Amino acid sequence: MPHPQLKKPARWLRAIYRMPLAVYRLGFAGSERWLGMHWLLITTTGRRSGRPHRVLVDLLGHDPARGRYFIQAAYGRRADWVRNIEVHPVFEAQVGRERFRARMEEAERQEAERVMLDYVRAHPLYSPGIAWMLGYRGSLRSAESVAAWLVATFGMLAIVR
């Protein structure tokens, strides 16, 4: 996976990013569907502390036949939760109210491009906005361009049951 040189967000911005996690903890898992979104909650074991850590990520796609859920790490392999999984490869995942044991693997390029293009087309305002926040400066009107940049820059991960 490429390693974009993004700075980690300021503490106040991280607090805003973590608000949906509070919604999940209050028992409203799955309520994001009202917004047309789907999230995946990942609970890892800290690589140094051994304590549980939770992160909520956008669920980009799902392959039910293979038990795979597609996500991206905005900070690539530098993301703490990705580094935790590299040390403790089996973790808990939750989609809506369904919890399961999982592992992570890199999605194949062709599959990642298809999943991302479908996601960008399904979220024509949200996806280009996120891409712009992450450094994309191409045409925001071109779903193909936005999707290609996101996959080329961040790759895609598959969470596997």
- Each of the 161 residues of the chain gets a pLDDT tens digit; together they read 444 456 666 777 666 666 677 677 767 666 666 566 688 999 999 999 999 999 988 899 999 999 999 999 977 788 899 999 999 999 999 998 899 999 999 999 999 999 999 999 999 998 999 899 888 999 999 999 999 999 999 999 999 99
Rounded (5°) CA angle 74-78-82: 80
**Pick from 105, 104, 150: which is nearest to 131 by CA?**
150
Domains present along the chain, CATH in parentheses = 11-107+156-160 (2.30.110.10)
Q: 61: which strand partners?
A: 70
Q: Where are the alpha helices (DSSP H) in 4-157?
A: 11-17, 19-25, 80-87, 109-122, 126-133, 143-154
pTM beyond 0.85: no
Distance between CA atoms of residues 120 and 6, nearest Å: 21
